[in-house]
Amino acid sequence: MDVVFKLGRATAADVQGALEDPPSYSAVRAQLRILEDKGHLRHRQDGQTYVYEPLRSKESKTKTELRRLLDTFFAGSTRRAISALVDLSDGELDDDERVRLKKLIDSKKNGK
């Protein structure tokens, strides 16, 4: 998905060429087909080649996946997720990060 998002549209060869230590061409095609079956991609045919495009924007997909992560691992709690992220950083947030996080929290508190 990352390669298709980055390129905007891609063939299996494009995806394979963009990956470090790529799987076989057949494996890439199979994965693209699975992503299409799950509703993440669509394709159009250009001659005998399938060109894949994402069905939703990366931002939309990111929000969906973050919601799933929150629900699965943090019981839907943003606070628990943020606490876990801060713990991962050994609690070391520089002044700039703290200011930006505070502004973000304040903007949500004010309904922005």
Contact predicate 25/12, CB 8 Å: yes
pTM greater than 0.85: no
Q: How confident is the model at residue 91 (pLDDT cuts 50, 70, 90)?
A: low
Give the pLDDT score at 112. Answer: 57
Q: How confident is the model at residue 88 (pLDDT cuts 50, 70, 90)?
A: confident
Closest CA to 25 of 12, 41, 36: 12
Asked if pLDDT for residue 70 goes beyond 60, the answer is: yes
Average of per-residue pLDDT across 23-46: 96
Q: Where are the domains of the chain?
A: 2-54, 58-109
Q: How confident is the model at residue 76 (pLDDT cuts 50, 70, 90)?
A: very high
Pick among 3.40.50.2300, 3.30.360.10, 1.10.10.10, 3.30.70.1560: CATH of 2-54: 1.10.10.10
For 42, counting Cβ atoms within 10 Å of its Cβ (0-12 exposed, 13-18 middle, 19+ buried), the class is middle
CA–CA distance, 68 with 73 (Å, rounded to integer)? 8
